[in-house]
Amino acid sequence: MVKVFLTAASTFKVGRHYNMGFGDLAAEVISSLESSVRSSQIDAVVVASAYPEKTGDQVMLASKVVTQMGLGDRVMGLRTEQGDASGLVALAVGYSLVRAGLANNVLLLGMEKQSEFPSRRLNDIVAQNLDEVYAHGVGLTNHAVAAILMREHMKRYGHDYEYYASWPITMHENGKQNPHAYLDFKVNLETVKSAQVVSEPLRLFDLAPRADGAAAVLLSSDEFAPKVSDSRVEVGPVCSSTIRVDYEPRLLSAANSMRYALDAVGLSMSDVDLFEVHDSYSVMASMILEETGLTPPGRGLELLQHIPINLGGGLKARGYPGGATGIYQLAEMYGHLTGTFQGRKVENVEVGLVQGMSDLGETSLATVLRVM
């Protein structure tokens, strides 16, 4: 059976790139992978992007990348869209192509533009995540749904607001050291507690800042991987779980996807050296970490004291580039596993768990990256 390796990665600083369109972002990250792209024959490009129709009046992003970058007329272009989970869905597609022997090298490219409009317009675009018939039309927003989940989490576990503040404080400490982080500054408890209320009890620092971004990773079959890279980072099966939000303060989709991904490679939670999780909101980070079983129910954020998590600053501080997020997560984890990450590091990372999901966690995906 063909094995799948991650052989190269590139990220571009998340931010407000008013002077860059999709083509500029693609050129930026693919050009920095030029030597890897040259030494491999790319068979497919999978673009992960959630909202380009609304934010940029664009479709056919993958085909445009293939022609703009001159990747060759045999290269197949595809795009994945599952909201903010699009990045890891792109991994699932690329992984499947390589594993099935249909492609030797697949480029995954995450791209999102979210800084073009004022926040009320962006809130409207992101609300496309909500159901078509009722919730979207009545004017609900993702933030309000997350606020209800936070309120339920607080009630269930008796937390006050300060419990959640540990997340942005730690993520900003991490982000400060990451050159590709959007919010590369520290914050203290007072700043977090007194920040603007978005949707009670959610305040500004409890949600991840949406911005522009692009990242790319290259997948290669075991036969081709040595031609591209000396590193040996194997990608495990990409596992997914999808469950309707029922407003209970749990994230069963995250629980399932992480467990399936570890089971698929015969490992357990305690084998994981580094976690990368989809912290669209602080309460989501808490709930995801609770689902690892490494902490008592309701106390997920206490894991920050014990295990390395989101060393690049997570969505909170690195920034939240929508459907491109999963590709950033993979690229950063690749950096940790190969010792090339330009930011906060830990020693001896050999097993990394990457978990990514839609904004509110209806669908979650996970995979294990390992140094072989």
Under the rule (CB under 8 A), what is the footprint of other proteins?
118-121, 123-124, 127, 131, 133-135, 137-141, 143-145, 147-148, 151-152, 155, 196-202, 244, 246-247
CB of 134 to other proteins, least distance (A): 4
User: What are the start-end ranges of the H helices in the chain?
Assistant: 22-31, 34-39, 52-56, 61-68, 86-99, 119-126, 135-138, 142-157, 161-176, 189-193, 225-228, 252-264, 282-290, 314-317, 325-338
List of E strands, the chain: 4-11, 44-48, 76-80, 105-112, 197-199, 202-203, 213-221, 233-235, 239-242, 274-276, 351-357, 363-371
Q: Cβ closer to other proteins: 139 or 339?
A: 139
How near is the Cβ of 53 to other proteins at its closest, in Å? Answer: 15
Tokens of 264: 């698929």
The tally of CA atoms less than 13 A away on the side-chain side of residue 183 is 23
Provide, rounded to whole angstroms, the least separation between the CB of residue 165 and other proteins.
18
E strand segments, 116-208: 197-199, 202-203
CB of 136 to other proteins, least distance (A): 9
**3-class DSSP state for residue 151?**
helix
Close Cβ partners of 218 (under 8 Å, ≥ 6 residues apart): 6, 7, 8, 9, 33, 36, 37, 40, 42, 105, 106, 107, 108, 228
Smallest distance from the beta carbon of 131 to other proteins, in angstroms?
Answer: 7
**Closer by beta carbon to other proteins, 137 or else 226:** 137
Measured from the CB atom, the residue of 155 and 193 that comes closer to other proteins is 155
**Pair 106, 228: CB distance under 8 Å:** no
> Is 174 or 280 the residue whose CB approaches other proteins more closely?
280
Nearer of residues 120 and 306 to other proteins, judged by Cβ: 120
Minimum CB distance to other proteins smaller for 51 or for 224: 51
φ, ψ (nearest 5 deg) of residue 263: -55, -40
Tell me the CA end-to-end span of the chain in Å, nearest whole number.
16
As measured in angstroms, the least distance from the Cβ of 124 to other proteins is 4
**How many Å apart are CA 349 and CA 371, to the nearest integer?**
8
Q: Nearer to other proteins by C-beta: 162 or 200?
A: 200
- Read off the tokens for 283: 């309460």
CB of residue 102 to other proteins, shortest distance in Å: 31
- Tokens 């839609």: give the residue: 358
Q: Smaller CB distance to other proteins: residue 101 or 137?
A: 137
Name which of 316 and 336 has its Cβ closer to other proteins: 316
Q: Which residues pair with 274 in a beta bridge?
A: 352
Minimum distance of other proteins from residue 244's CB (angstroms): 7
Minimal distance, residue 149 CB to other proteins, in Å:
9
Sign of the C-alpha dihedral, residues 28, 118, 145, 198?
positive
Instruction: Return the amino acid letter for 55.
Output: T
